[in-house]
Structure 1
């Protein structure tokens, strides 16, 4: 359809639409502008006066005939202004045109063409862009064509026949950057990107397009494949934890696209190291085609595990490679130390510590004020730990991974200690949980302190609620809380929801404020008076860490209420998971990550290490190296270089060659000190992630073209590319002025107006 419009438009207006989009309108009047304007006004006046004197005509006839005559004269006078179009065109054989072919596995899908002519995407591209094709001959006659194939990165090739569609990842941003850098210094007139748009790279597409716009290089995108599969089930998105603490359960959230199933249910399985550990059922959604399934990861042994999410393929699916997703999950042993500060003896202190006492992965260190300047210390390492109460230095405070504040007033801390608490979250990246209590939150005077901004709820100044009444609230999870890993009280999501509905109410004595922007409410409370929006558990990210408020003062009722059986483990489960959540993502002073965590053989992996002192001050002058051990047991050492962009950040690249699991151990040396990082892993296989979203993503390709001044074409309409690419402002160009007054459209317009006037006269019996 588009080619027909382009052909007709070019015939009517002399030049292709691309020339008008790129060109600049100018005029070169044959007479002075003032004289032409006077002539136009004079002729217009003559028309008005002439038709006004024709009293034999009705007002309607005079208006219509006068308008048609005036428009005809206006079109002729406009030609005397000699309108033109100034365009910049590439000088033949003086510019480079980069052609990038998608070489990823999604190009093997056989959905190009129609009917019996259906073929694979890569075959259709090779046919259209073969060296002997009319399109390539036209491009080669005007440009020096440089060809690339790309998956995770772009590499030069001699022809489209070298494209094998073996890559397991499509990184459009990195590939555009690679081609641009490879052709640096050459007159680059444009880039042709031929792809299905299945972008799953890690580089910033916005940055890549900005670099091309800065050089005024247009990107012409060619889309391959179908935008919508009629019958398909695919795993589109998976959100899974990267690390878990030993003994902790997790939740995997899976978005499954379902089409053409006729309301049939499909089983979804979660595997760990090849063993099925959980199953759920995919129910076709009532609206749309995305169904969200949440699967619980049971506690796994310490070590690195290979997770796989799979859905059963449909009998007539075009592509089945998108029915599986894999990653690695690291389960670390601990124990992680948590400091619990309580300002008064109360049951919450004893029951919370008792709930996690048998959890070997976490250790709650208790500090309770028993009298003025006297403290009860529980779980300390030695006789000197917390001897003088709350830590007075960052060195001591930052050794903990999380802090719990009970019913303790702000005056218990010095101003420096309150600032340390805020820095513990934002700088150290620790977890902070504030419990409800008579001397907590606003009633404890925390409003206006450095700690107040770190909390997810606003606070107003109040007084300690020493004897005030407690408000009973029935606690229920919100929509976000129902799927949160810390709030899963049973093995399945449905059983967990039912358990929440049966728990006895708790009480609160604090005036809890509203949620801050960016905070999330996980538990809400309903009072006996009917109010149902009382915040009970809320959290937010703050700097590197996170903070949460649990507004109830007596969660121990979930253990001691008469309705709770003696053998019930709800209270223990709740607090074990809550504390594990607090410490899960807390960074160490030295950490290493690999991006992406799953690649194909021959694809590069970026290793990034973050190094800080025990006070979490970034270190830039260290020697950082990584030992990469392959599946065969052979090791290779890589030196990580300091990144100039980020303090304390070091990076390097390595390219795995064999399939299997690679382990990465990083070591940092700062003077005489040496730090051992947490081990990370990379999964190398032939499947990859490229076919996870295998449908043609035309909107993404259109966006790339529009933001760079290019054009998007379906593969069947790519023939127009040769003419459109000629009009460019990049590379070596020549500016040409093209007359527009002699366009066929102008002649047809004047003829149409005169014919309309004559026809109207004939119709009205005036001619």
Structure 2
């Protein structure tokens, strides 16, 4: 059953715009001439309207005439001014104005009735003439309940970006233009859905205009998958615009089982070859996947070109279309790629996607390889900390773990396990460290230097001088309690001794063995080192701690603090030289900061309060002490759980392994190596598999897994991390595996593939020039119940309206003669 969907008014005479444009111009000329004549006759006229009224009539005639000529000329030159309804109304208004101007001077001779009769006859004659000229038709459109849906799929793979001839539109652009013509020809007989297959768009587009925003740079052409996307979205007929270069994993034979006819349209020449075609390819972009904010980053673009030797191009590094850097490159075409180093400094924390872009040169036939994306994770600045420890003791493991798990700290630890042997962790490529630093440059790589239980003989005088210079230049320095350091280790006589904030004379006894909870001084209570954890310590006036902190086992006895140093913690009961024993003292030294901490049993805090996570006074004390020493006490820390994907690149060659990497923090915002991270991989064939990621021992919080993709196409990977049966978060990413040989290695169109698709599905094959006939074929294939019915009623009749026009003009002539008018 069909229902009335709309009522339309068409104008069959609108194509003859030249006629009514000529009539408008003629009317305009007549009106202007009438106004000029009236102007000349005005002084000599003694009858008729008053001179002022006649003058106004003259100007009205001239203005109307000029407007009529302007509209007529505009319609002849500009298609947008040829809208038939507007032109018809405008012409009726101009004609009515002309009739009124013609008769108004005769008003006092004829009277109201006679003038009305003549005016009506003339206007009705004009209306009859306009209906003959514009031929309006009233149409009633009836649609079926279920309108057939046709899907128009445009191949947006890389080969569609090729121009088969110089200065010719690309295959993709030709396809989208032809697709729009087809949509116009189909009219309202069907409902049209638009698709673009590039491996990224898996559903219908909002409108045909979206084709303009999709670059043809898909890494693989999988025509059966492209057709399936359309049929899965309810399309009963499919039109495919493609060059027929099929290199995806799906088989053409799989289309034989479908019931939807596919009409294929071939785009592109069968003679185009990749060899010798001028082309620029950004093969890949190399660089770090993570970088701290406000730190310069260097990316390396690998560029290969063909048939463009000695051509100069600009290489742009962009983010959100804003150019960060540009580099001028002279191309050296050949098999050996060229390297371009691009530098930028990120200023915002978060994931960013950078784009390396080379503008298309005129000789290029394709732009598919002229850009490459590179995703990065920009993090808060990390504080590089060097922890040198002379022996294995209970304090070492928990301290190293808490610093490693802090997202804002990058720890390098060197723990001596036997004479002249150090267990080293955290050294990065480019550090050039094979042991304890030996140059000032190596010491200054670290923002904070921690020395454990070692005597001054552990470091040479040159090494100590380098540390002292690094502190003066802005580094932080901390020594923690032990049996062989401070005064017992002869640090008072060392080159580094002046940098300590305490008196390094030997005190008696050298160690305080009384267990204690440290007491804050007035300065300590205000220090950022104890922000948020002061309630765990005894107050400056000896007030008991509000929360129970496990007592320390003892501490080194300092002879006192140096003048200019600030004491933050003391022993609540023990005295040294008649004063409360100093537990923590700090000092500004040059541009840097130094600290001396007498205890070495804070691991007790960690053991008893580990369930508090990052809110534990142990974690916060060490984290805030390191930040103060680094001069960055306001550095933001991670809050809460997170899962962040860091895939190296977006596109991979066939048989190239893909490293899946994610960074994970736990419920307390701490990097953790104890989470369970699982990845779900969905391949281009729709099949899924799950793999577990492994914690990277050298970098806490980082998990990885190498996989080998099974075929070319788009892969979607989703990650989920859990710890202690609690979900920490999810993240997802996509990557693409190029087909063997590459999307751009074969550019000649394959009509045989498109012909086979049409034959298997019961459709038809045509070339681009036959799109007009394709609309007729699609309409003819529609079942009668799915066709739109249109009933038209002409609002004119050539013979009848012509006779009416003659009759009206004859009647007007008769009355004019009867009433003795010229």
Higher gyration radius (CA)? 2
TM over 0.5: no
> Which one has more relative contact order, counting CA pairs under 8 Å at least 6 apart?
1
TM-score between both structures, scaled by the size of structure 2? 0.29
Larger relative helix fraction: 2
